[in-house]
Structure 1
Amino acid sequence: MLPKVVPEFDIPFIGGGVGFVSYDFIRDFEDIGPLKEDPLDMPEAHLMFFNEVIVFDHLKQKINLIGIPFPGYSNDDLIKKVKKRKKELDSQVKKQTVVRFSLSDFKESQNREEFEKSVRTAKSMIEEGEIFQVVLSRRLAADAKGNPFSFYRKLRVDNPSPYMYFIDFENYVVVGTSPESLVKYRNGTVIANPIAGTRPRGISADEDIKLELELKEDEKELAEHKMLVDLSRNDLGRICEVGSVKIDKFLAVERYQFVMHLVSEVSGRLLPDAHPIDGLAACLPAGTVSGAPKIRAMQIINELESEKRGVYSGAVGYFSACGSMDFALAIRTLIVKGGKGYLQAGAGIVYDSDPAKEFDETNHKLKALMEAANDPAD
């Protein structure tokens, strides 16, 4: 992978590898069942490597132009290229008209009846002691028209999240607004942020507070969240120094445009002989999108979901040339390919799950993306 070619910067990404690793990457290491139908036909991982980047600090309204010395590049070459890039920016920066983006004619991988049947099947497996929890998802496919960058701009305004991304791979585009870090690494520390437990936002401040209290007192949501925090501790324990793994934040409520979530943070010191990529491998896929125990949960997902997940519930992020790493959990994400747009959302199933409510939860999660897709920014 990418060597650490420069020291730590105050800017986390200064160049390096950017892209995604899919949920199905786990198939290279674990037997989770036969391959499913793959309507998207995308690779299990796709990273693009850059030694020139333009970094826009939204808070400070500042642009940084950075060049890093990959093999074959001299410092003089980089300085010339960065100066050339600055000259291009000075002459070309102007407001551009972006073609509106829309999705229409939605088709479900599973309708309400089919999804609720899958939930009941999963519950029977939980009752029989095969697993404690499993996350089942459903996909929407639609006709896509226009420029997906318009969709990204709308998300930035109406549904901002800690992770916003628009990555054009030429043959397809990955764009999303993920609230959850899968794993990140900086200055020797690996961090995971499990999210589990969801409520829709209230239509008033009073209703919002009521829904928050309801969420924090929901035994099903609390049990699921605590289980996934333990799973994150176990994941980090495999690649961190003994005794260094700790919980930094527990059962905090974070609000977004349409939903609120329970969020925790787990961290540890990376082993001296480990690489940040070991942290990614240890945490992928997240327990919040698979279940517990992980392997059996993924086998059940493979049995009950009709299509290969692909990017959804995998990871989107970067390996920086300064040694840092940051990957978001690929949820609240749109894939645009071949004139089609694909959205997907899941719900955590435990022993006392209500199938109808779990279907409704997937709809709450999809709502922000569907509305942004059909009411884009100018």
Structure 2
Amino acid sequence: MFTALFGSVEVGVIYAIMALGVYLSFRILDFPDLTVDGSFVTGGATAAVLIVSGVSPVLATAAGLGAGFLAGCMTGILNTKGKINPILSGILMMIALYSINLRIMDKPNIPLLAEETLMTQITSWWQGLGIDSLMEGLLSSVGLGNFIPATWGIFGVMLVLTFVIKKLVDLFLKTEIGLSLRAVGDNTGMVRSFSANTDWLKVLGLGIANALVALSGALVAQYNGFSDVGMGIGMIVIGLASVIIGEAVIGNATIVRATLAVLIGAILYRLIVTLALRVEFLETGDMKLITAIIVIFALVVPKLVDKQKAKSRKKKRAEQLGAASANGGNQVAAAKSDL
């Protein structure tokens, strides 16, 4: 049970990078970008092909990020220059990327288990430090020696990487360009009235968002040990689920809090799915159904809670007004009796 939950947290940390990309397009730019399902695979496919060709895993991962950036920019160009509806722009690019990804890989699946990847490098480096042996000795002394995951090093490095990316996103959104992106998402017409190039800002924002998605795809491919043309199906829903769950739990009052909510939401989503799949009547094939139910609950429950709070506030206000009215009537009656 512990191993399964730890694996969920580990995978959730990697998928949190993808969720940050979805947050940029969905919340910051107010752009429902369906390119995510394709650009996630593009990142994994690009990294896998380069790794198999002997390229350094770090450079291969960076190339996957760049490929995702180009995919996002193309979606932005279709929307801004082609005047195509945002949803349709994402759908068209997602469909196009399916064929592009097949072209990149030249086959539906590329195995990486026999290749040196970023994950194998991290594992080798971590084992060289001897931290696992130290932790195993400490936990064995208290009877918890079996709770040392083999991928503890991967989890640590990915956690640091994810928080570094989160911090960079926070800093970027506070720059002049970042503030302009936020303004475009809130009111494009107002930003355009100040002679700002809103088209360029949208293209840049979607490029950055899909770059993060592709980076997550490249890391997931190396983590799983393969890149598959169908690995991106449903990524937009998973990203939205992470954003919505995180905001429901943490809130989004500030940018720093909102991005932290996205990271926590991605981890919580994975934990919920893992626990749900342990229910006897649910199977692995039900994962998409579980995802849909999670999103529905994350969308509906906060609204029901807010509605109930609003009713409570109205009821309390009515009671206060009634008490004040009754008190005023008593004072009037007392004044008349004095006369």
TM-score, structure 1 normalization: 0.25
TM-score, structure 2 normalization: 0.27
